[in-house]
Each structure stands twice: as C-alpha cells, then as structure tokens.
Amino acid sequence: LPGRWVRSPSSTGSLKPTADSWQLTFKPTVGKVLLSVGMEAKLNCSIDIPILSLEPTIVWWKDGLELHGSLQAVVNDLHTAVQGVSQEMVTLLSTLRSVLRDHAGEYVCKLNVSDAMIKSQPIVIQVEGLPMFTRHPEDVNVTRGTPFSLSCDAVGPPEPITILWLRDYSRMTVDSGSPQNITVP
C-alpha cells in the first residue's frame, strides 16, 4: 500500500528487519503549488516507519541540493499498530513564512535508513508576483529639441513583460517587450 512499509515474504520464516525487508514509500504530496510573493507556504511529507532500531533521517532537498537548516522543520510522530506491527508515522512539516521568488523550485523529502535512500514525490512551488524593474531609466539632461534615449528592463512573472512609455500622460508607440529602449525626438 502507498505510504506503508510492508514486510517482504521471508523464505526462512525468521527475518531480521532491515530497510531492504520493508517497502518504503512516502505518502502522496500536493504536487504543485502556485503562490504569490509574501504568502506563507507549508510543506509536508509523511511516511510510516516500523518501530525498529533503524535510526531513520529525513531531510528536505530543493532542486537536487540538500537544504542544510535553511528550511525550519517540525517533526510530528504518531505511534500506531498495523497488523500487529508497531509503526511510527513521521510527518516533516516546514513553513516558509514569507515566500520569495527564490523559493520557487522542486522540493522533495529524502529518507535515509539502513543505507537505503527513499525519495518523496516532488512538491513544485511556483511563485508569482508583480513584475519588477531590473534596470530603471536613468535621469538625463538634454537640450530642448535634442533627441535622447531611455532604457529599462523588467522581469516577471507573470510573463510576458509589457513596458509602456508615457509622455505627458500619452502613450508613446514602441515595442512593448523587455528590455526596452526608446528614442525621444
């Protein structure tokens, strides 16, 4: 069953429990989450572990790299018995208090127990926010009637970026993508 460790059949009838003698599977995750900058995000992964002296370790990973303490985690344990086997349901709960664009990516939990590595399904976080300028137009001093140029650049999401230039509150006709350059006659 998904999310359960099930004892593999033993030909001898006597089985010393190891990670290989159990089927290790994390419970399904939420999959994909779409958030806005500044929102709070809660991530969790859960797995049922037989109560053995296996000393499991569960760690968050983002985009293929281990998160060394950069994601605060709370571990919730719930002890149960399934078919006479004592189990501990471990839930690793982490909170991102104020989501930033840098939080976007693929998160997974990895369980390391008895030299076996088990990975959860990914949680993909997409972060949307208002577009922001990466290069602002600079102030320029010009002589009346002399043409001059202005430049700017912006990034999303959302994409595509649309930049509008106004002169005396009237829209000027130029391409609307980013980066943007305009020559004012």
| Per-residue model confidence (pLDDT) at position 128 | 86
Domain that holds residue 172: 132-184
Residues 122 and 146 in one domain: no
Identify whether residues 49 and 85 lie together within a single domain: yes
Both tokens of 116, joined, read: 């076996």
Residues 121, 60, single domain; the answer is: yes
Cα–Cα distance for residue pair 41/32, rounded to 1 Å: 12
In a domain, 8, yes or no: no
Does 51 share its domain with 119? yes
* pLDDT confidence of residue 124: 96
Boundary of a domain, candidates 128, 149, 172: 128
Q: What is the pTM of this model?
A: 0.61
Q: What is the b/e burial string over 105-126, where b = at least 16 CB atoms within 10 angstroms of the residue's CB?
A: bebbbbbebbeeebebbbbebe
Mark which of 83, 103, 128 sits at the end of a domain: 128
pLDDT of residue 37: 87
Q: How many domains does the chain have?
A: 2
pLDDT at 21: 57
Whether the CB-CB separation of 153 and 135 falls below 8 Å is answered with: yes
pLDDT tens over the chain, length 185 residues: 222 232 233 333 334 455 555 677 888 988 999 998 889 988 888 888 776 656 678 888 999 998 876 565 566 666 666 666 667 777 888 888 889 888 999 999 988 877 778 899 999 999 987 788 889 989 999 998 899 998 999 887 777 788 888 888 888 877 777 777 888 87
